[in-house]
Structure 1
Amino acid sequence: MSNATSRVGFVERIAAITLTTAFCSIIFFVNGAMLFTLRNKGVFRETARYILLFNLLLVDTLQLSISQLMFCLSAFRFTLSYPVCLLLCLLASLLTKMSPVLLVAMSLERYVAVCHPLRHASVTTVRDMAVFVCTLWSFCLSIFFSYVAVIIVARSAAADKDSPTKARNTLLLHLFQLSLCLLVGFVERIVTITLTTFSYSIIFFVNGAMLFTLRSKGVFRETARYILLFNLLLVDTLQLSVSQLMYCLSASHFTLSYPVCGFLCLFASLLTRMSPVLLVAMSLERYVAVCHPLRHASVTTVGNTAVVVYALWSFCFFTVLIQAFLFIYHYPFDQLESLQMRQLCSYNTLLLVSAGQIHHTVSTFFVFISAGLSIIFSYVGVIIVARSMATNKDTPIKARNTLLLHLFQLGLCLLSVLYITLLSKIATFFEWLVFMRLQCFLFICFILLPRGLGSLVYGLRDQSLRVLFLYHLCCHVELSVAPD
């Protein structure tokens, strides 16, 4: 009975080994044909994706061979010496770690090819790929040798084997952590970009519905307060888009050329100055409506409002032109090897000269201080008129609340100006991952949300706009809105 059982067990082992060896031979032949194909043509040997694919298939083929060898030895119950077994296990561990890091490299190569096609050829050269692959192998080999050293010490220690065993377990934990670290940075950027883009899309849709509402009726296109509100929301929407674009470029570590970066920064500077001066115009319009009601109709005509809007755009454009001239005149372009920036695009990168920094700081705070004083002046005038009126105090009270809203919006605009300065201070206190999360949070709170607050507040607060705004916001689904 025992002989029969042993013969059955032997036959089962032979069948299992034969079956796995047959599969291994087929897969080995397929992989070998693919490896030969990848080395047969020069175009494959000189293209980054095929170089990485060759290394991945080579690792898979070696891992396949070692796994099949260890399976056969286990099935035959063939024992090995400790050095040979240790060598096979650690070599299998080395190959196991090479597969995921090569997959990461291939994924990043495809990401660069699709998202940054103009830079793909310069980044994925044969030399760069060779250096990158050698770095990956060196990285895994360093972990391999560290693990070997710990195992040897653990075997040779006569007493106190707990320390080497704990060190070995710690190294295994480091292997797992390091494999995750290869993906953490990339995943962190994707998550922050996705979160900010989702918030941007919602706010952009709300602003778009409000802008469409303000252009859908003739009464809105011919009333001074709605013309100014349209320009304010248009500026907020443009600034929202430019800020989101620059945030995505920064989070992706994508560098621009100096002309493109300068254009984006100057355009953002123009929009930053437009918001407070438009708030001043809207505050003065409310001041005239309450304090000088008999002259309001003759002062706030469509023609006069258009002249004011053009004058405000011209004033802000002129200040930006001065800033552009100072940048072009003082920046040391002759010391640059090329116009491609090596740092990320931001004001801090461009405003290296003292004249540009002084002009930017002085002009920005002059606009905000003047805007604050103008809104406070309008608020005081409305309060005085409200106290002196015996009847019909609803209009001054509404105008007072509107001016308080303008003052609050001005404060939010000032926060967006201080956003970059605040980030530069925070970066010195926190590590990179924490800084990325704080940057995402501050960007949503200081840049995105204030740009969508105006549309919601004005759209829901103004009785003339409310029903039509909700109608467009809900994609032409009629809603019943209770009047105040």
Structure 2
Amino acid sequence: MQNLTELSGNETSNNSLSGIIKVCVVISCFCVFLCSIGVMLHIFASHRQFMDTSRYILFAYMLINDTLQLLSSVLLFLFVMGGVKLALVYCIPLLIISTATFQNTPLILATMSLERYVAIVYPLQCPVAWRSDRIWIIILSLWLISCIFPIIEHSIMENDPAVNIISTPVICHTKLVNSSQIQTLFKAARSILFFAVVAVIILFTYVRILLETRKLRQDTASVSKAMHTVLLHGFQLLLCMLAFTIPITETLIVLHSNWRTEDVAYFNYFCFVLIPRFLSPVIYGFRDQSLRGYIRKNFSAALIK
């Protein structure tokens, strides 16, 4: 009996230590991300020329979307890790924001690909919708598409008479709140739809961009840079798309390994939710020659102070 008690105590201690490490890693990464985003948004706000270009407007929009996504998902992560329970009236809006901003990321990537395609293939005949003063119409459309799916998902949830949405506290996790069979089918159909549409757009535009780049620029360095950028974009998109398969991968890993369910969930969250957002400043910010110069100036000024 004493050995069993000691074993249980050690297991509880290990679980607590593991939870603390997970929280510290997530918060540390989130703080680094916020610093990078803060610098870039400050550059956009301070230099008007960036906001006169559709590509940079979409980039700024993606940074804001990723910030909202990480803020909501990290809050939900901390609530679950700390065992904090919320009433559904507070939990559902958080889940809707987290899901909508998560779905928005691949849509923004597809839109940025289309913007590059239009800029390269039709440099002198840019459609009106893609001009910097009209790009907000496309941005609002993306928000509408991203928000309508999670709202529908939560509106079709089965009502439990024992649960009061205002007063009954629950663990704010999508698996617990959206657990009905019809919601599961709806999420699966939504994921397949997003994956198919975005994958087709990305593949088509990137191939066309590479072909046009090879035709218009014989400069080997420019072609090489474009190919490296495409590879990085593809890697980020792959991570985003793999997040749609999280329920499947969680089940397979638990069945065929000794990993605990919570460890698999954390691994998937870190790899497929956090990392793609952390890559955004690197792919679109630090690799951009114009932005890189301003970023260096800002960091140099901060170090001097």
TM-score category, normalised to shorter length: 0.7 to 0.9
* Conservation of the 8 A alpha-carbon contact between 1:258 and 1:340: yes
Q: Tell me which amino acid in the other structure corresponds to 2:20.
A: I
1:392 shift after superposition: 6.1
Give the distance between the partners of 2:111 and 2:161, measured in 1 at CA.
43
Give the distance between the partners of 1:465 and 1:401, measured in 2 at CA.
18
Q: Tell me which amino acid in the other structure corresponds to 2:192.
A: F
Matched, 1:417 2:247: no
1:440 shift after superposition: 3.7
Superposed CA RMSD: 3.0
Q: Tell me which amino acid in the other structure corresponds to 1:209.
A: V
Query: TM-score, length-normalised on structure 2?
Result: 0.85
Residue equivalent to 1:333: 160
* Conservation of the 8 A alpha-carbon contact between 1:382 and 1:396: no
Residue equivalent to 2:200: 373
Once the two structures are superposed, the pairs formed by residues 9-28 of structure 1 within 5 Å of their partners are none
Q: Which of these residues, 282, 297, 320, is aligned with residue 112 of structure 2?
A: 282
Give aligned-pair identity as a percent: 24
Greater RCO, CA 8 A, separation 6+: 2
Give the distance between the partners of 1:292 and 1:403, measured in 2 at CA.
20
* Conservation of the 8 A alpha-carbon contact between 1:288 and 1:296: yes
Q: Which of these residues, 119, 122, 136, is aligned with residue 306 of structure 1?
A: 136
Give the distance between the partners of 2:217 and 2:96, measured in 1 at CA.
50
- Rate the CA distance shift 1:453–1:201 in 2: closer, same or farther, 3 A: same
Unaligned runs of 5+ in 1: 1-142, 144-170, 479-484
* Conservation of the 8 A alpha-carbon contact between 2:62 and 2:105: yes
1:424 shift after superposition: 4.9
Unaligned runs of 5+ in 2: none
Give the distance between the partners of 1:430 and 1:258, measured in 2 at CA.
34
Matched, 1:446 2:233: no
Partner SS state of residue 256, structure 1? strand
* Conservation of the 8 A alpha-carbon contact between 2:229 and 2:283: no
Deviating more after overlay: 250-259 vs 234-243: 250-259
Give the distance between the partners of 2:215 and 2:97, measured in 1 at CA.
45
Q: Tell me which amino acid in the other structure corresponds to 2:286.
A: L
Matched, 1:224 2:54: yes
1:316 shift after superposition: 1.9
Q: Tell me which amino acid in the other structure corresponds to 2:156.
A: L
Q: Tell me which amino acid in the other structure corresponds to 1:469.
A: I
Give the distance between the partners of 2:186 and 2:7, measured in 1 at CA.
48
- Rate the CA distance shift 1:282–1:395 in 2: closer, same or farther, 3 A: farther
- Rate the CA distance shift 1:300–1:477 in 2: closer, same or farther, 3 A: farther
- Rate the CA distance shift 1:403–1:214 in 2: closer, same or farther, 3 A: farther
Q: Which of these residues, 37, 46, 65, is aligned with residue 235 of structure 1?
A: 65
- Rate the CA distance shift 1:389–1:428 in 2: closer, same or farther, 3 A: closer
Residue equivalent to 1:245: 75
Residue equivalent to 1:127: none
- Rate the CA distance shift 1:398–1:214 in 2: closer, same or farther, 3 A: farther
- Rate the CA distance shift 1:229–1:385 in 2: closer, same or farther, 3 A: same
Q: Which of these residues, 188, 193, 197, is aligned with residue 27 of structure 2?
A: 197
Query: TM-score, length-normalised on structure 1?
Result: 0.56
Matched, 1:254 2:84: yes
Give the distance between the partners of 1:249 and 1:313, measured in 2 at CA.
26
Aligned length: 303
